[in-house]
Homo-oligomer: A and B are copies of this chain.
């Protein structure tokens, strides 16, 4: 019995373009998807990059005009890994063309744009996905499942981080990530901390932000310097609809930290602790363990934590970053088939932008704000 085919167009061939391509390649080999996937066309701004990606990733066609992908009626799904500022135009075009859209995070620099995109997708009835792939980790799935099942009891406190050091060097140049419209550490990586917080604990209702520019200017690449207006680190206090409180920090000048996407969550019956620097492990404290035998358990990801078992036969082997991307692809493809809901659609991507902007505004105004 043959499956229908889903034809993929990919825009952008950098790190994330490669990660998408690998995801499209490995997902159907690891999961039993509803579709066969065909790598149809890849686009990049230079013919050389496009051709290299065509050959390297195994696409049938290459182009320097991303519009070719939009205009090709044979393409079903458009993956957007171009610079953030282009997400909106590309996604709206793809949606108008009736295609499903898989867009790297952030969905758009501004929540208003993201709202327009989410609305357009819903109106058009296409399926969408935003690339918050850390959520695809089976151990985050386990954490969410444990919380939902009440294994931690009532949630009382949350602390989330996403700290790295890739902008710690003051001599690293001004880039699109420093653009006043939508840039900054909170948007770039604090957004992951926010996504994880809501993934685990549900909606955030109020925030108090604290966003700072620490490195006031950066080289402009032309021998001069350019003032930076976006935050290098952004913190927030949080209130959740479930009654819990928490905090997050996004920080891209956290010297020495490479992937401190960490959280701790405290409940009346138990607690969880996690670090993305060792993302195949979840630490679990159970207050029901006998006295004198209590302690955080180091649970290693294994076949008990789906879909890990589709990748590796036993615990301890470990998934890697690109495996998370394959899980993300699989989830989106299954959603397109209608079997499952969209894992993280544009509406959810908008939600993250809304949280980011509310925190930024709160910081600017120095007061708590409702998240609307």
Contacts and interface: CB of A to CB of B under 8 A. Distances in A.
A118 to B, nearest CB: 28
B255 A267 contact: yes
Say which size band chain A's interface belongs to.
35 or more
A270 B256 CA distance: 7
Interface string A343-372: 000000000000000000000001110000
A224 interface: no
B233 A255 contact: no
A104 interface: no
A271 B295 contact: no
Interface stretch (A72-80, A83-91, A109-117, A307-315): A307-315
Number of copies: 4
B208 A258 contact: no
A226 interface: no
Contacts of A142: 292
Interface string A142-176: 10000000001000110100001110101000000
Contacts of A26: 22, 25-26, 322
A237 B255 contact: no
A47 to B, nearest CB: 15
Given A25-B25, A233-B157, A297 B292 contact: no
A166 B285 CA distance: 15
A249 interface: yes
B157 A268 contact: no
